Amino acid sequence: MAVQTAELKPSVPSSPLTGFWREFRKNRMGVVGLVMLVLIVIVAIFAPALAPYDPETSEGITSRDIYNPPSTDHWFGTDDAGKDVLSSFIYGSRVSLIVGFFAAFISIVIGGVIGIVAGYYGGRLENILMRFTDTMLVIPDLPLIVVIVALTKPSLLNIIFVIGLLGWTTTARVVRSQTLAVKSRKFVLRARAIGAGTRHIILHHILPLVLPLLVVNAILVISLAILNESTLSFLGLGDPTATSWGQMLNFAFGRGAMSAGAWWALVVPGFGIVWVVLGLTLLGHGLEQILNPRLESHHLMPGRPTVQTEAVDVTGKRSDVPVLLDVRNLSIHYVGDGQVAKAVHNVSFQLHEGELLGLVGESGCGKTTLMMALMRLLPAAGQIASGSIRFGGWDLATLKEDEMAEIRWKGISIIFQGAMNALNPVRTVGDQIAEAINKHMPGLPHGVVNARVLELLDLVGIAAEHKDHYPHQYSGGMRQRAMIAMALSCDPQVVIADEPTTALDVMIQAQILELLDDLRKKLGLAIIFVTHDLGVVAEMCDSVLVMYGGMTAEYASVDSIYNAPRHPYTQELLKAFPDLSKPEKRLTSIPGYPPKLNALPDGCRFAPRCPLAFERCVTEMPRLHELNGGHIVGCHLVEEKS
Amino acid sequence: MKRYRYLLKKVSWSAFTILFVLILNFFLFRVLPGDPVKAGTHDPRFKKENQEAMRVRFGLDKPVINCFETLNPIKVGDCWINPFETQFFIYIRNLVQGELGISYHTNGPVADILVERLWNTLLLIGAGQILSIIVGILFGLFAAWKARTVIDYSALITGLVTWSLPTFWLGIILLFWGSGHGFPIGGRITPGTSSYPLSYQIADIAKHMVLPTLTYTIVYMGEYLLVMRSSLMDVLSEDYILTAKAKGLSTFQILKDHALKNAMLPIVTIIAINLGFTVAGAIQIEAVFSWPGLGGAVYEALERRDYPVLQGVFLLIAVSVVIANLIADLMYSYLDPRVQTE
């Protein structure tokens, strides 16, 4: 069901570090965080040069210097001892950074070792280590740190060790799960198979892959260590010989800055803590986004508005049966990162009452995109760039969202490929079917809806007792059948079956296909059947639309497609498909891959793989030719021959 | 049946963790160099007899556990002593009887001091936690729904900034601001109003709670916001959301009936994991606002070197967090039908 928008991404550059830097530069949050950190590190290193006064000495300070407001002499005022706040602030950065980095270093080494050992060796050792980690994770760390530091001497070294020795739990968990994931990769298994030592494998194969996550985690650990240090100092447990931001706040808060109105003594040190922690947080967030890129889009984001165009009629009439769904010149683009990917280009077809249309093509040729567009379920980057979708007097391409909601399921419903995740895991199957009925036939009494749900489940061969079960209690085949029951729940006129049988075993596949065909005959549905399986198409379909690279390759009745295919792609597809009536036939596959959506050839999209391609194919995109009986072919050869 | 096994596993796990906390707590206060009597012995005015009397008073004359020489403050001769006469056993026995030791400062039972303060802390944590969860979840929900818009980015930045604020500092700033705007400068009630009518007292407590609760909400809202946002982003890109949309449900129906429950699952876990941090926050807030809770008790005990109180608070907090974790786990199993059969 996922529509391939990932193809829009440019290919990864050669060197990992330059590539990383190029990615990182684009990440505004990460860059801002890095700049903030670099600045404060510079301040810490050059503290003696930058600080206007020496915070260690109290020479020349009189009682009149206490809590003086900011002035040209003291930019950030003076504190309870009459010292320059700016100078203490500058020196305070040293304590925060030292404690943060060294404590985090201890945590990361401990957590890293525990995580790698647990993940790599597994078994009982892992069990014990992770149990211990979980226990330590539950125990609140600040109260424990407070207690230990209070009982020992509050020196900088003690604080570093206590914070470091208690802060490793998240690291251990992150590293363990990453090690587990990496351990079973091919090259690690291969290294083990050729007898590489444990040390070698961990250092050369596992560590490099764990490292990126470890860095992101380290940033979090550093910021927590800095926050913990400042809290300790604020509570009066800081090293009395080292000025830190937390301690400045402790003195100011405990020694009357509040009543003296000396806001500068309260605001400035806290600002330092926020600066460092925010810098780290932004950097961590930025790195995380690069290491773990998520598609920042979801199904409820508003799509791009349809581009309205005049449809041109290119297809002739093939049947006298009324047309239910009339798709004309439909083009669909994915727009993102300044690029446009033409996923579907100028596709037209008609679906008649009771017709079963097969939609065939390799993966990534725009089948699913086309079907999603019919229901206006394209992802946020998708856009109907031209064409119309006529259904029951409406043009679905331009229909308003709330009107479209009425058409969905009642007019056109869809059976998604891989119903594994298409059902909500926390609601019962019966409830999810009833929901659709309640939505489109409001006001039905509960008993009637319930009876209808049971009837539908019975129709697809699911026993009544499974109605109140959750999807995870169903088998894969049952889930797919439940999905079909759900798709039929509002008596739709058109059902789209998007590869409804992939990922199921052959027996179940056959059952489900038979079921769909039966239902079509019984209920008079029109079905669009999206598939790779030419055998199924031959057996069930009335007409076939073959797509390649987002375009119509050939569109004709099932007889014409099988007995007189005109497009080389159709011919090649048929050669790749076993025919029981000609067992001596040699199966061949088509070399190469379908074109990338962001690198489409100028001419015919199939030309690079076409055995019959000639010059014109490379330079000129073929137009659709109509042969007798509504047989549509998008190939120059048809012209050349006639 | 599977459900009971799940419950049993979780309960026994929590029991094990509590036992670990008890042992850790016991040894922390005996192994570390901060022996209260030793601390006092540096004072020349502290007579030898008084030291001994103090040791007896606080049970420190007995062997710690068995025959670890280094752990025994006073050598009792034979190694094979009666285990019921050890400090460890007495410690456990006292705990079972609800005794947490005797405060050096007030000379009264620590348990009595803490029980009263526990309620004050629960009041503050309860109010702050509920508010931050509600605000965080609402903002997170809105941010995820309006992903990649100005609303989303501002919510994200707000979340990251509030996450970075040191709790105690935000408290100080709010207190500084509030004291100039008619808010009480700390405590739980205005002194001398204990004979006033109940409605007045409730309003008084509420007024004292405004700033601490606000601090709490701002600091913790950020994380709930970020978690809710990313959780909802994940849920909203799931296939079943597309199914719900294909069924013709409105955005509101999809959010309410399909997304919220699934997205809330990680929040429950985060609430549980966060309880430790929550307590850390409460300690800081109570220290700033002189709120008479457990955190305030820590602050005061630190100033007075009142170790039994510190020990009692640590124990109480650790055990509460473990139990709260257990409750969250059990809640999770009710929310997610998949847990029961795993």
CA separation for the pair B270, B228 (Å, rounded): 10
DSSP string spanning A459-503? HTT--GGGTT--GGGS-HHHHHHHHHHHHHTT--SEEEEESTTTT
Nearest CA in chain A to B303: A236
- Given a cut of 80, whether residue A27 has pLDDT beyond it is yes
Nearest CA in chain A to B166: A227
Mean pLDDT confidence for A554-560: 89
pLDDT for B31 equals 66
Q: Based on the number of CB atoms within 10 Å of its own CB, is A56 exposed (0-12), middle (13-18) or buried (19 or more)? A: exposed
Q: B340 at the A interface (CB within 8 A)? A: no
| Residues A573 and A534: beta-carbon distance below 8 Å | yes
> Which position has the token pair 């080494």?
A109
Mean pLDDT confidence for A625-629: 82
Domains and CATH numbers, chain B: 110-341 (1.10.3720.10)
Interface probe for A, chosen from B169, B267, B294, B317 (most Cβ of A below 10 Å), is: B169
Residues of B in contact with A301 (CB under 8 A): 147-148
Look up the pTM and report it. Answer: 0.80
Tell me which of A111 and A289 has the higher pLDDT: A111
Q: Based on the number of CB atoms within 10 Å of its own CB, is B260 exposed (0-12), middle (13-18) or buried (19 or more)? A: middle
Can you list the pairs that B298-303 forms with residues at least 24 positions away whose Cβ atoms lie under 8 Å?
A: B298/A143, B298/A146, B298/A235, B299/A235, B301/B105, B302/A146, B302/A150, B302/A235, B302/A236, B302/A237, B303/A236
Q: What is the pLDDT of residues A432-472, one digit of tens each?
A: 999 999 999 888 899 999 999 999 998 888 899 999 999 88
> Which position has the token pair 């539908």?
A456
| Residues B104 and B81: beta-carbon distance below 8 Å | no
CA separation for the pair A357, A555 (Å, rounded): 10
pLDDT bracket for residue A100 (50, 70, 90): very high
pLDDT bracket for residue A2 (50, 70, 90): very low
A246–chain B nearest CA distance, Å? 9
Interface probe for A, chosen from B247, B277, B319 (most Cβ of A below 10 Å), is: B247
CA separation for the pair B336, B342 (Å, rounded): 11
CA angle at A169 for the pair A168 and A172, rounded to the nearest 5°: 85
Rg (CA), chain A: 34
Mean pLDDT confidence for B246-259: 91
pLDDT for B195 equals 80
Q: B185 at the A interface (CB within 8 A)? A: yes
- Given a cut of 80, whether residue A420 has pLDDT beyond it is no
Q: What is the pLDDT of residues B289-311, one digit of tens each?
A: 989 988 888 888 887 878 788 88
pLDDT for B60 equals 66
pLDDT for B211 equals 93
CA separation for the pair A387, A375 (Å, rounded): 14
Average pLDDT, chain A: 85
Q: What is the pLDDT of residues B156-182, one digit of tens each?
A: 899 999 989 999 999 999 998 988 888
B131–chain A nearest CA distance, Å? 22
pLDDT for A3 equals 41
Q: B241 at the A interface (CB within 8 A)? A: yes
Mean pLDDT confidence for B248-264: 89
Residues of A in contact with B145 (CB under 8 A): 300
Token duo for residue B260? 């919220």
Q: For chain B, positions 186-225, list CB contacts with chain A under 8 A.
A: none
pLDDT for A197 equals 81
